[in-house]
Each structure stands twice: as structure tokens, then as C-alpha cells.
């Protein structure tokens, strides 16, 4: 089964094979394919000799020998009239192995294992359906992040996507003289950048950005570069002072501390604790309850973040700070299989129940206020 090129290039092993194939294809076009492989082999031997590593020198020589054996086997198959797929893959594995200083057979086995795992995952998607984010066929409806499609629909959408790419490749680049498509794309990208920067400024004002001290916001000036100031939300300067920008975040934090001492207004305890605690990778706070935290890691197939929970425990996947750190440590020391991840169906069901409870609470408050 063919995979979309954008997905196949995600894994490092597949990306190395793709780059090696491209380099060898160009060399084959120019007629210097043997020179590329010979230079890679000599460079690998030279690096191993410089580090006095006899094992790597032997590995580089054996890689070249295995490639010669593959070429000899292909010649025998051609002479016997057996169809062959060529030696481009074997050459790509050898080229990637020589550059990494590894054994070509091990590199091939690891890469083939990734291919088999992806093939298995793709068969699962075709048999059980898949959730798309509007990347194929423009399925993304208004107000929804993704939609669920069955296997046959997924195959049809992929075929349509391949056909569109073929048409775009045959059409060539889009110029401003022929269509206004470039203006739409530029406006979409510009809106995305503006929204991202606006979100960063909002988080900095709320003190959520753990990269900055409490009460400090980030400001950028074209003439002065990156500067820092005191947040304006609920914190005013003492009489006779005015807001200024400072070269470092520590200076702005010291000024904010002095202002709070003058007005006798302590910092928010929850945000102060969050800033003092600092950020921890893969540990995030609850969106509505900052006393609870979750552990999230990327799914190896779709590169999406998923909640992590102790296998077999069930229940909520939110914990206090110490329990979240312990869960993170346990997960990193485990085999990291799928039993640690919370299914997306369970997450959606929990979100749906939370929305129902919020709606019922809001309706109850409305009826209570409506009474005379």
C-alpha cells in the first residue's frame, strides 16, 4: 500500500533512505553513481581511521562487500530472465549506513521494520476507518477539527489527492498574472501568524508563559529589539512613575515586585507557584483547574499528543503535581506501549460529559435567577 509522501518522511530512518535515493538518482542521471558510493565508503573508512576504530573500519568495508554481492545477485537474475526491482534500495541503505557509521544490514532491517509497522497501521485505518483533519478532499466542516470516514472513503480521497497533485505538477507554478490564489494563501498564513503571536502575548499577560518571570510581558520593538515590561492587567505604577521597557526580564520582574510591595497587592498564589515550579516537558496543567496536571506524549504513528495513564488503573488522567511527575518517570522507564495511552474515544466521551454537566449547571442557575 502506498503511503502519502508527507507521512512517509516523518520517521528518521525513512527520511535517510529517501535522501539517499534522491542522491543516487541524481548520480545515476549524471553517470557517477559508483563515484558517490566510493566516496562515501572512503569517507567512512577515513573517519574510523582518524578515531582509531577498527570495528567501524571493518563495518564500512563489509557494507561495500554486501553491495557488491547484491549487484552480483542482480546480474545473475537478469541473466536467468528473472525480473528484478533493481539495486537502488540496497545502494541507498549502504549510502545511509556509511554516512552514519553503521552496518547496512542492520539499517535495512530497522527501516523495513518501520515500513511493516506503517503498513500494518494503514491496513488498520482502511479496515476500521480513520479520522481526518480536512487534509484530504476538503472534508473539514465548519466548527469541527476533524471528521471520521470509513475505509473505502479514505481510499477514494487518497486517489483524488494523488490526481490533484498530478494536475498541479503538470500545471506548474501559479503566477500572480493568472490567478489570485497566492493572495488567499498569503492572507491565510498572515492570519495564522497574527493569531499565534496574539496568543503568546495573552499567555504572557496572564503569567502562564513559564519562560518569563511573574508579572512580566514580552515586547518587541523594531528599533531596539527584544524588550520586557510589567504587565498592565491589574498592576499600576506608583505615583510619579510610568511604564518603561527593560533590557532583561529580571529587571522588569524586580520593578513589578517593587510596585506590588508599594500597593500591598500580593501575587496570585496559583500563578506564583506555577512560575516558581517552572515548566516540565510533557506535563501540562488542566485548562480549568490549575491544581491538576496531565502527562502527554506524542503518538508514534500519527504524531499526535495523547494523555498517559498508568495501565489498568482507569479513571481520570489528571493528577496533582507530584503524581504527574511520578507518572512521567514511570512512563519513560517502561516499554512505552499503547496500554499507557488514553484512547481518543474515552477523551471525547469525558469532554461530552463535562459539557453536559456545564450546560445543566448553567440551566439550573438560569432557572434560579428567573424566580421572583
Task: Tell me the angle at which helices 54-79 and 104-128 cross, rounded to the nearest 10 degrees.
Answer: 60
H/E segment holding residue 130 = strand 130-132
- Residue closest to 270 by CA, chosen among 250, 282, 286, 258: 286
Predicted confidence at residue 174, as pLDDT, reads 63
pTM for the whole structure: 0.44
What average pLDDT does range 61-72 have in this prediction?
Answer: 86
Range with lowest mean pLDDT among 177-186, 262-271, 296-305? 177-186
Distance CA 358, CA 167 (A): 49
- Over 60: is that where the pLDDT of 143 sits? no
The residue among 57 and 194 whose pLDDT is bigger is 57
Write the pLDDT tens digit of every residue in 242-278: 889 998 888 998 999 899 888 888 776 666 666 666 6
The mean pLDDT of 52-59, rounded to a whole number, is: 89
- How much is the pLDDT for 300? 61
Question: How far apart are the C-alpha atoms of 94 and 96, rounded to whole Å?
Answer: 5
Nearest to 324 by CA among 279, 293, 296: 293
- Residue bearing cell 476533524: 146
Closest CA to 14 of 117, 158, 136: 117
Q: Is the distance from CB of 274 to CB of 210 less than 8 angstroms?
A: yes
Alpha carbon distances (Å) from 267 to 207, 211, 371: 10, 17, 39
Average pLDDT over residues 153-163: 88
pLDDT averaged over every residue in the chain: 79
Distance CA 159, CA 154 (A): 9
Displacement of CA 70 from its chain's centroid (Å)? 37
Q: Closest Cα to residue 327, out of 297, 354, 350?
A: 297
Q: Is 70 exceeded by the pLDDT of residue 302?
A: no
**What is the pLDDT confidence band of residue 7, given thresholds at 50, 70 and 90?**
very low
pLDDT for residue 334: 87
Percent of the chain with pLDDT over 70: 78
Q: Which pLDDT belongs to residue 255? A: 93
Taking residues 46-61, report their average pLDDT. Answer: 89
Average pLDDT over residues 5-19: 72
Query: pLDDT tens digits for 330-344?
Result: 988 888 888 888 888
Q: Residues 91-133: pLDDT tens digits?
A: 889 988 988 888 989 999 999 999 999 999 989 988 888 887 6
More confident site: 95 or 136: 95
DSSP single-letter state for residue 217 = E
- Cell numbers found for residue 7: 507521512
- Expressed in angstroms, the distance from the first to the final Cα of the chain is 68
Residue 324 has pLDDT above 50, yes or no: yes
Q: Are 185 and 225 in contact (CB under 8 A)?
A: no
Average pLDDT over residues 315-328: 88
Largest CA distance in the chain: 98
Q: Is residue 209 over pLDDT 70?
A: no
Determine if residue 225 is left, alpha or beta; phi over 0 gives left, psi from -120 to 50 gives alpha, anything else beta: left
- From CA 120, how far away is CA 287, in angstroms rounded? 35
The rounded distance, in Å, linking the Cα atoms of 218 and 207 is: 11
pLDDT of residue 116: 92
Q: How confident is the model at residue 211 (pLDDT cuts 50, 70, 90)?
A: low
Question: Cβ contacts of residue 92 below 8 Å, gap of 6+?
Answer: 17, 20, 21, 24
Cα(287)–Cα(265) distance, rounded to whole angstroms? 25
Q: What is the mean pLDDT of residues 300-308?
A: 71
pLDDT band for position 357 (50/70/90)?
confident
Q: Which residues of 141-169 are buried (b: 16+ CB within 10 A; e: fewer)?
A: eeeeeeeebeeebbeebbeeeeeeeeeee
Name the H helices within the chain. Answer: 5-8, 12-30, 33-50, 54-79, 88-100, 104-128, 151-171, 181-205, 249-263, 269-277, 321-332, 344-370
Share of the chain above pLDDT 90, in %: 7
Please determine, for residue 38, whether its predicted confidence score (pLDDT) is greater than 70: yes
List 148's β-bridge partners, or say none.
Answer: 131
Amino acid at each position: 500500500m502506498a503511503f502519502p509522501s508527507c507521512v512517509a518522511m516523518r520517521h528518521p530512518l525513512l527520511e535517510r533512505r529517501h535522501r539517499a535515493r534522491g542522491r543516487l538518482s541524481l548520480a545515476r542521471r549524471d553517470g557517477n553513481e559508483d563515484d558517490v558510493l566510493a566516496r562515501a565508503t572512503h569517507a567512512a573508512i577515513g573517519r574510523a581511521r582518524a578515531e582509531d576504530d577498527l570495528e567501524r573500519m571493518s563495518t564500512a568495508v563489509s557494507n561495500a562487500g554486501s553491495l557488491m554481492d547484491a549487484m552480483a545477485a542482480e546480474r545473475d537474475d537478469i541473466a536467468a530472465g528473472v525480473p528484478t526491482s533493481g539495486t537502488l534500495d540496497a545502494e541507498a541503505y549502504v549510502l545511509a549506513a556509511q554516512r552514519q557509521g553503521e552496518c547496512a544490514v542492520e539499517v535495512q532491517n530497522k527501516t523495513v521494520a518501520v515500513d511493516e509497522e506503517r503498513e500494518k497501521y494503514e491496513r488498520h485505518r482502511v479496515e476500521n476507518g480513520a479520522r481526518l483533519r480536512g487534509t484530504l478532499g476538503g472534508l473539514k466542516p465548519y466548527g469541527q477539527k476533524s471528521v471520521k470516514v470509513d475505509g473505502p472513503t479514505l481510499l477514494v480521497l487518497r486517489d483524488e489527492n494523488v490526481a490533484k497533485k498530478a494536475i498541479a505538477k503538470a500545471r506548474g507554478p501559479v503566477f500572480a498574472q493568472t490567478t489570485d490564489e497566492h493572495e488567499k494563501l498569503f492572507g491565510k498564513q498572515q492570519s495564522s501568524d497574527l493569531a499565534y503571536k496574539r496568543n503568546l502575548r495573552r499567555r504572557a499577560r496572564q503569567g502562564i508563559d513559564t519562560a518569563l518571570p511573574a508579572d512580566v510581558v514580552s515586547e518587541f520593538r523594531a528599533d531596539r529589539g527584544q524588550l520586557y515590561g510589567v504587565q498592565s492587567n491589574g498592576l499600576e505604577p506608583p505615583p510619579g512613575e510610568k511604564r518603561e521597557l527593560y533590557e532583561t526580564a529580571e529587571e522588569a520582574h524586580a520593578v513589578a515586585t517593587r510596585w506590588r510591595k508599594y500597593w500591598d497587592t500580593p501575587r496570585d498564589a496559583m500563578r506564583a507557584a506555577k512560575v516558581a515550579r517552572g515548566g516540565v516537558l510533557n506535563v501540562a496543567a488542566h485548562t480549568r483547574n490549575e491544581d491538576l496536571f496531565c502527562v502527554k506524549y506524542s503518538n508514534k504513528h500519527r504524531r499526535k499528543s495523547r494523555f498517559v495513564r498508568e495501565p489498568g488503573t482507569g479513571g481520570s488522567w489528571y493528577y496533582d503535581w507530584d503524581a504527574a511527575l511520578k507518572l512521567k518517570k514511570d512512563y519513560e522507564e517502561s516499554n512505552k506501549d499503547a496500554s499507557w495511552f488514553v484512547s481518543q474515544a474515552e477523551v471525547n466521551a469525558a469532554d461530552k460529559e463535562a459539557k453536559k454537566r456545564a450546560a445543566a449547571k448553567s440551566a439550573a442557575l438560569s432557572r434560579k435567577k428567573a424566580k421572583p
